Structure 1
Amino acid sequence: MTLKDHKKHASLVRPQTGNFGRNEWAIVGAPCVNIKLLANDVIQALSTEYKCAYVDASHNDEVVSLPGRLAAGACLEYVDQQNYHQFSYTSVSPFDIKQQFLAADAVFVNGNHHQANAQVVVIHPNKMASLQKRVDQLTNVQLILLAEGVDDVFEFIKEALPNWQAIPTYSLNNTEAIIAFFKTQLTANKPALKGLVLAGGKSLRMGQDKGALKWHGAEQRLHIADMLAEFCSEVCISCRAEQKAGINTSYNLLEDTFTDLGPYGAILSAFRHDPNSAWLVVACDLPLLDRQSLQHLTINRDASAFATAFKNEEQGFPEPLITIWEPKSYPRLLAWLAQGYSCPRKVLINSDIKLIQPLDEIALTNVNTPEEMKEIISHLEGSKIQP
């Protein structure tokens, strides 16, 4: 192997995030008080549907003393306040900061102090000089706002943004239009939905490959994949390396890259394949699952949650193996694995998810043993269910 053949880093698909989150806007060109007021109005309007976050900096000109036990030498202090939780650090890296914004759907940034992937430019006479100094930071301007008494864009902005006339431009006081703009952006940026059929288990209790059972005339893993195709932009069948030769090659096969972790590893493998899409994960041992149940799940999807799952009425817990896992759940799953946990249900129970009632509880019945298989065969023959 020559030096040119050597790769320093593994070839990984990186999540589409900015400095703080997937959807982030730096508001620049206005006094800080105006930026705070604008962010407050937008966040208040969006927070019923989306998880919003805000980024700013201290405006104290003097050196601020370390709070609490940080002054005594602690590197971290956590305070459980009555209405909120507060973490204080002595130091934090950009990677650490990004971890704190995993749940956020929209991050609004005071652009006078921090940068973001997208920008909102305010044309304000009092900040003209400050904005001119930051003109190189205007790499993805998506909205222009005119302060009160302003009816045109600065000339240097026109020069820096040749397409400035195509950028939506509103009055800074037109809060309704500004909120509508962000709602449109967040709707357009909703992660695509892909499907994953969990078929990589060893089926030890069944004694034969559960994914190859033909409940409805075709192998169950293919039957599930065909149903998912109606709701998903792409469908993959999760499998072990040794299974690939026995599965129809006209289907997308996704080999587990997180091995010996069961379904948990399959879900992580899917996110490793595409960390920017949501994954509708369905186990292959659900012979009574029907189109109506999948439609009910997708219609009620909450992309702002970590996941959308059915509630198991008998246990009261979420069903992890017929669940829509959002992209924001990927780093959370990895973090749980780092703490020694590999139970997807435990992650769901301890996360902010949307839990919905199934249309028919029997559709979520899974089959793991020959005895359970006989019962399902009798049920199918008796009811003549059409999937």
Structure 2
Amino acid sequence: MARHARTHPAGRGPMTAGVVLAGGCSSRMGAAKASLEWHGSTFLRHVTDVVGRAVGGPVIVVRAPGQALPALGSQVIVCDDAEQGRGPLQGLATGLAVAEREGASLAFACATDLPLLHSAFVDAVLRGFTAAAAGDDWATPDAAIPRIRGFRQPLAAGYRTSLAPHLHALLEAGRSRLSDLLDSVDVHLLDEATLLADTRLFAADPDLASVFNVNTPEQYRAACAQPTPEVVVEKSILVGTELVASERRCVRASTLGAAAEQSGVQLDGQVVVAVNGSCFPAEAQSPLQSGDVVMLLTASRPVSA
């Protein structure tokens, strides 16, 4: 297929986006996976927020036409699949096309059923493009595909957004399997050793549980039984312009709301939140991940971030 050269502003890499496929029928689960409860949030809210922490552009959720979705973060764009019943390749084509229109040239694409996904995994996959190309845009592969425990992971992978027309051509030719896509484009495979050479990913997810997908009630129960992330919470109280109290503690919490509750903080207009040094939405369902450092600044009067 034709390759597409792109230019980027000096000193900047390509914009990245996320594509999350939510339109599956969930037949083996017996319930819509997007809305499954996940430690005070939902599968879809959790996955979209985790992906959003690793990409520079929007996160696009592709749903079946008319499909009801749980509440999502403000950075998420929801779009309907153009045609129902054509599998994940159709959803991927739709999501990549929207991501390209939004200005992204690379996207991390996944399904909604990856509750153990870590943003360090997303980041490592997307940086696989840079490692393969060594800065040469013409050498950038079409896809960066993890290969974990001997299996390719096309629904936890990176793609050029310009692939959308090629995906549509495959669909029109009756080739609707993800393997049809991988067999017809330039793929850079990322094996376990390559992924875990990333020190942040090795520390956060040494077992690469990020690709554990949940299809059955038994798998759902197994995922729910995994340890809750351990995070550090730094709580400070501001009176006027002075910090009058500060404490630091380790807690186990899957969401910002759970971490705040354990620290005796109510998430309201009087709280400023930062995670790992960056401003963070003060929303109870915002997911936390192992290794996060959460700063909660409470004040005697409303403060702005």
TM bin, normalised by shorter chain, reads 0.5 to 0.7
Distance 2:182 2:10 in 1: 24
Letter in 2 for 1:361: L
CA contact (8 A) 2:90 2:167 kept: no
Q: Secondary structure at the match of 2:62?
A: strand
Alignment of 1:130-149 (within 5 A): none
In the alignment, which of 223, 226, 233 is matched to residue 376 of structure 1?
223
Unmatched runs of 5 consecutive residues or more in structure 1: 1-99, 107-183
CA contact (8 A) 1:313 1:361 kept: no
CA contact (8 A) 2:46 2:115 kept: no
Distance 1:185 1:243 in 2: 36
CA contact (8 A) 2:117 2:210 kept: yes
Letter in 2 for 1:289: L
Matched, 1:309 2:145: yes
Between the two proteins, what is the percent identity of the paired residues?
25
What is the CA distance between 1:365 and its match in structure 2? 0.9
More helix by share: 1
CA contact (8 A) 2:83 2:90 kept: yes
Q: Which structure has the greater CA radius of gyration?
A: 1
> What residue in structure 2 maps to residue 353 of structure 1?
187
Distance 1:279 1:381 in 2: 28
1:240-275 C-alpha deviation (Å, 9 max, x unpaired): 232246544844211111321122111111233344
More strand by share: 2
User: RCO higher in 1 or 2 (8 Å CA, sep ≥ 6)?
Assistant: 2
In the alignment, which of 44, 62, 77 is matched to residue 238 of structure 1?
62
Distance 2:183 2:208 in 1: 19
Alignment of 1:213-362 (within 5 A): 213-230=36-53, 231-244=55-68, 246-248=70-72, 250=74, 251-275=76-100, 277=104, 278-302=106-130, 304-315=140-151, 318-357=152-191, 358-359=195-196, 360-362=207-209
Task: Decide whether aligned partners of structure 1 residues 191 and 259 sit closer, same or farther in structure 2, where only a CA change above 3 A counts.
Answer: farther
Distance 1:216 1:259 in 2: 30
> What residue in structure 1 maps to residue 5 of structure 2?
105
Letter in 1 for 2:86: L
Moved more, 212-221 or 248-257: 248-257
Unmatched runs of 5 consecutive residues or more in structure 2: 131-136, 197-206, 231-251, 255-288, 291-305
What is the CA distance between 1:322 and its match in structure 2? 1.1
CA contact (8 A) 1:199 1:221 kept: yes
> What residue in structure 2 maps to residue 72 of structure 1?
none
Distance 1:329 1:245 in 2: 27
1:291-313 C-alpha deviation (Å, 9 max, x unpaired): 22112112222461111121132
Task: Decide whether aligned partners of structure 1 residues 247 and 345 sit closer, same or farther in structure 2, where only a CA change above 3 A counts.
Answer: farther
Q: Calculate the TM-score normalised by the size of structure 1.
A: 0.48
Letter in 2 for 1:293: F
Distance 1:260 1:372 in 2: 24
Q: Calculate the TM-score normalised by the size of structure 2.
A: 0.59
Task: Decide whether aligned partners of structure 1 residues 271 and 341 sit closer, same or farther in structure 2, where only a CA change above 3 A counts.
Answer: same
1:120-150 C-alpha deviation (Å, 9 max, x unpaired): xxxxxxxxxxxxxxxxxxxxxxxxxxxxxxx
1:64-92 C-alpha deviation (Å, 9 max, x unpaired): xxxxxxxxxxxxxxxxxxxxxxxxxxxxx
Q: Secondary structure at the match of 1:272?
A: helix
The two structures, once aligned, show a CA RMSD in angstroms of: 2.9
Letter in 2 for 1:301: F
1:89-140 C-alpha deviation (Å, 9 max, x unpaired): xxxxxxxxxxx6x22537xxxxxxxxxxxxxxxxxxxxxxxxxxxxxxxxxx
Task: Decide whether aligned partners of structure 1 residues 373 and 336 sit closer, same or farther in structure 2, where only a CA change above 3 A counts.
Answer: same
Distance 2:77 2:161 in 1: 20
Task: Decide whether aligned partners of structure 1 residues 186 and 352 sit closer, same or farther in structure 2, where only a CA change above 3 A counts.
Answer: farther
Distance 2:181 2:77 in 1: 27
In the alignment, which of 3, 15, 21 is matched to residue 198 of structure 1?
21
Task: Decide whether aligned partners of structure 1 residues 104 and 246 sit closer, same or farther in structure 2, where only a CA change above 3 A counts.
Answer: closer
1:167-215 C-alpha deviation (Å, 9 max, x unpaired): xxxxxxxxxxxxxxxxx86867964211111111121110111111233
CA contact (8 A) 2:144 2:187 kept: yes
What is the CA distance between 1:354 and its match in structure 2? 1.3
